Amino acid sequence: MGIAILNGILTSLGELKANGTAPSTETPASLPSEFIACVRSQRSADRIIKTLGDNASGVNVVRNDNVASVKKADVVLLACKPYMVKGVLGEAGIADALKGKLLISVCAGITVEDMETALYGEVPKQSPTEDGRCRCVRAMFNTAALIRESMTVIGISDPPLSDESEKLITWIFKQIGDVVYLPPNNMDASTALAGSGPAMFALMLEAAIDGGVAMGLPRAEAQRIAAQTMRGVTGLVQSGEHPAILREKVCTPGGCTIGGLLVLEEGGVRGAVSRAVREATTVASQLGKGVQGVNGTRHN
């Protein structure tokens, strides 16, 4: 998923250059100009180059040399698996290489405190502005970054980031979709809703498609109809329409819509979807702690 962020940034910079578009007031004073992708295996390096396509020429892919790469960077994006964070940040020389820099993690369940503990052995008592260590920022985005339609939630920093740092972080994630800032205690729920949400919505979409196919629609057309319908509803909600009002507008007395909705209510769909978000939130909160089998603890 880190590749999706990188590709979004490179594509945006390419568009700015090609169109000669003047940076907006939301654009940071200094945009990224050099990119290094750190990987372990040649297979990963090949995958990055293949995925980036024409954008690959603007990226230096480095294998097994995180410290040297971090020393050259001003901003570091941590996009590994949660269980790998301790090893990556605990590598000798990384903490020193990160001094005074911006470290942005998109690893599910990994808090700012987790990052600082991995780097320094404990959460430092002084603020980063006092001791000069790196600023750790937590963010969560989703798979729609691949088409630059992600929803990214960024944890509000304490102490606050400089205006320029916040503007840069916002700009980075705006290249792959929309951005919102929330307090750190909202990040696990944001991981569930924004990060896991696409899979949940895809399941609902798949169920609607299957229903159409069961009633005689060709699958390709059923998928097209259902996907565009979901997209249209999303657009209406984003324009300010409340979901409940939207639902009520479609429910004419004695009509097919209210009949279908009652079946969903009888099946407990509303509660099941809400519970799925709650369950995913619980699991997300445990990922950074290395807890195994969290999903197996839910019985009611």
Q: Does the annotation place 82 within a ligand binding site?
A: yes
DSSP secondary structure string, 206-262?
HHHHHHHHHTT--HHHHHHHHHHHHHHHHHHHHTT--HHHHHHHH--TT-HHHHHHH
Scan for tokens 């606050």, then name that residue. Answer: 160
The answer to whether the annotation marks 38 as part of a ligand binding site is no
Whether the CB-CB separation of 132 and 99 falls below 8 Å is answered with yes
At 153, the amino acid letter reads V
Quote the radius of gyration of the chain (alpha carbons, Å).
22
DSSP 3-state of 29: coil
* Residue 118 assigned to a binding site: no
CB-side exposure of 158: number of CA atoms within 13 Å? 7
Asked if residue 186 belongs to a known ligand binding site, the reply is: no
- Residue 235, classified by CB atoms within 10 Å of its CB into exposed (0-12), middle (13-18) or buried (19+), is exposed
136 is in an annotated binding site: no
Residues flagged as binding site for NADPH? 66
Residues flagged as binding site? 66, 79-82
Residues flagged as binding site for NADP(+)? 79-82
